[in-house]
Structure 1
């Protein structure tokens, strides 16, 4: 893809964001006919209609929605690559990390803090997401590293296990009868309205805990970020099955109750096998290793 084609993608995404060709033209400091012509040429080249053109605003078609998501990934990867190939002797560039919500991320945060003193021109970008998205974006080259919860399939990745374990438990409103308990047994979850992680394999994990697959596990909602799940708990949707240390329940209307016997999980930082890391990414990895030694 040449620079002209990348420019067309930037024109296209500006129209997507502004939902108006005139405003997109003003933002990009080009003429409106130029953008209109480039978008028309792009549609003809792709053989699809990208926009449903209305009287007030421009909306994406289904094909346009898909193409916009791919265009954002292409430009993100391109911008990251250009930053990293223009590194100077002081080491600069961007490093992208996709991370599950885990208190074990503190090790990564401490490494980033140490890195700032020696290499202030390295920028670390963290995206909170789930393991499935981490794997996909590592393989597409968007992320340099991922932080995923264990147990996890890591055959395609190199990894370092991060120290510390997190307990599993239930996030409940303070008004719930369960809030008075100091622990919960697995059987206490049966028949309750549960909000669980939408990460692939979570239902299998539950079945493994119970030792069978036909227990009355009543899942009413799923989440990929626990903060949103905590709002559902507050609203009375159900109880969130989660790990501790993510939601601060001090002086809040929620309580975290651990499961007993204790069920814990760890996390690992992973990166794609055979993928050549940028100098900035290798420098961060070295700092993480130093934190663990």
Structure 2
């Protein structure tokens, strides 16, 4: 909490209120802000109400289900961005220039966490034990939303090349995708899969959208499908013969080698996704952040 004196009146504002305000302003939604910050919607509403009470002016116009910043809200937003940037720097202050400490908030897709990040995180925590490290798993699009809102410092995703003007993104590695089915599945090519059960990831997953688009473009029905939020659950469904899916090769390599799955061929060239590291262009990077990025990219 900090206080501002103005004409002998004291305004007391908490950092979390400012973080909630900034997130609502950027996402244009109390509901999305609550999901992003992992607060209840009632808490977000209370934070904004408390801030409006302290400031003495509405910060948002509520237009039915739509919201937009008031003139006061727009002015406050600029100051809040500056203040939260300074607050982030303060949290990373080190009394010893040679000591790496502070906090890192990483977001990663499931495949990246399971198959590529484990060894990096283990080495990082061993080399820099004074850094507080948090990791959130989510799909690619929500992770980018969390970068924009400031909830995450760095996101590591597996998807087509990211083209977001507000994010700095580097490619970590190229990762091919493969169509897969149970080892004795009768379908030999994906073009023969019309009517077959399709195993999809969650609707807000880039892999799902890419796969669904491919099937529709090739005249393959998606009506008969199963949907899962977990890649591991999808893999077990394929192994059990419940359907055909599209997955990153790195996530099914061992199952293919053990002949528990087979590759379903395609007349098209195998699609390619990219493991990518992103952070907001306005994000101040501490020594802890920079060391983490260096450690990942050194592994290329």
Q: TM-score, normalised by structure 1?
A: 0.59
- Cα distance in 1 for residues equivalent to 2:116 and 2:238: 29
User: For structure 2, which runs of at least 5 residues remain unmatched after alignment?
Assistant: 4-11, 18-42, 51-83
Q: Is the 8 A contact 2:105 2:154 kept in 1?
A: yes
Distance 1:114 1:244, change over 3 A: same
Secondary structure of the residue aligned to 1:180 is coil
Q: Is the 8 A contact 2:197 2:242 kept in 1?
A: yes
User: For structure 1, which runs of at least 5 residues remain unmatched after alignment?
Assistant: 10-38, 47-76, 173-178
| Map of 1:27 onto structure 2 | none
| Map of 2:279 onto structure 1 | 271
- Cα distance in 2 for residues equivalent to 1:105 and 1:270: 18
- Superposed, 1:194-209 pairs within 5 Å as 194-197=198-201, 198-199=203-204, 202=207, 205-206=210-211, 209=214
From 85, 89, 110, the counterpart of 2:92? 85
- Superposed, 1:1-293 pairs within 5 Å as 2=2, 81=88, 84-89=91-96, 90-102=99-111, 108-156=117-165, 157-172=167-182, 179-180=183-184, 184-197=188-201, 198-199=203-204, 202=207, 205-206=210-211, 209=214, 212=217, 214-230=219-235, 238-246=243-251, 255-261=260-266, 262-292=270-300
- Cα distance in 2 for residues equivalent to 1:257 and 1:98: 31
| Map of 1:64 onto structure 2 | none
- Cα distance in 2 for residues equivalent to 1:138 and 1:101: 17
| Cα displacement (A) at 1:236 | 7.4
Distance 1:237 1:284, change over 3 A: same
Q: Which moved more, 1:116-125 or 1:103-112?
A: 103-112
Distance 1:230 1:255, change over 3 A: same
Tell me how many residue pairs correspond in the alignment.
Answer: 223
Distance 1:276 1:182, change over 3 A: farther
Q: Which moved more, 1:106-115 or 1:116-125?
A: 106-115
